[in-house]
Structure 1
Amino acid sequence: MIWCPRCDQGWVTRARVPGEPGTFLLCYECDTVWVDREPHAGPPFLTLEEYLARFRLDGLWSNIELLEKEPGA
């Protein structure tokens, strides 16, 4: 895992939407999502809410599956 370059306050983890192909990167702290690229501070990026709207889901963590645990958790 890497430290979030956008908020500088949380870890970035790999996650997925159950039942959907592919994975994405997500910051535990600021809910920034990166799809098909490494995390970076500037655009383009999405919020978790924006990303899940693509699947007609609410922007809730209960709608995703985390594939890595936050360090120290």
Structure 2
Amino acid sequence: MIWCPRCDQGWVVRARVPNRSETFLVCEECDTVWVDREPHAGPPFLILEEYLAPFGLEGLWSNIELLEDTTGT
């Protein structure tokens, strides 16, 4: 996992919208999303709410599937 370069307060994890194959990276603290690129502090990036809107979903973590375990278990 990568420590978020934007907020410096959370882990960046791989996720996806359920029933879709495309994955993205999202910070578990600031909800910054990176699509098709490594995390970095400056633009371009999206916020989770912006990323999920085209799918007709609210920007809630319950609307995504995490593909990495951040708890260390």
| TM-score of the pair, normalised by structure 2 | 0.94
Provide the residue aligned with 1:25 in structure 2: 25
Work out the number of aligned pairs and report it: 73
**Alpha-carbon distance in 2 for matches of 1:51, 1:44:** 12
SS of alignment partner, residue 52 of structure 2: helix
Please, which runs of 5 or more residues in structure 1 have no aligned partner?
A: none
Tell me, yes or no, if structure 1 residue 61 matches structure 2 residue 65.
no
Matches within 5 A, 1:13-52: 13-52=13-52
Q: Structure 1, residues 33-71: CA drift from partner, whole Å, max 9, x if none?
A: 000000000000000000000211011100000000115
Q: What letter is aligned with 1:42?
A: G
**Alpha-carbon distance in 1 for matches of 2:58, 2:18:** 14
Which contiguous aligned blocks of 4+ residues in structure 1 show a shift greater than 4 angstroms?
none
| TM-score of the pair, normalised by structure 1 | 0.94
Q: Identity over the aligned pairs, expressed in percent?
A: 79
**Alpha-carbon distance in 2 for matches of 1:27, 1:6:** 9
Please report the RMSD computed on the Cα atoms of aligned residues, expressed in angstroms: 1.1
SS of alignment partner, residue 42 of structure 1: coil
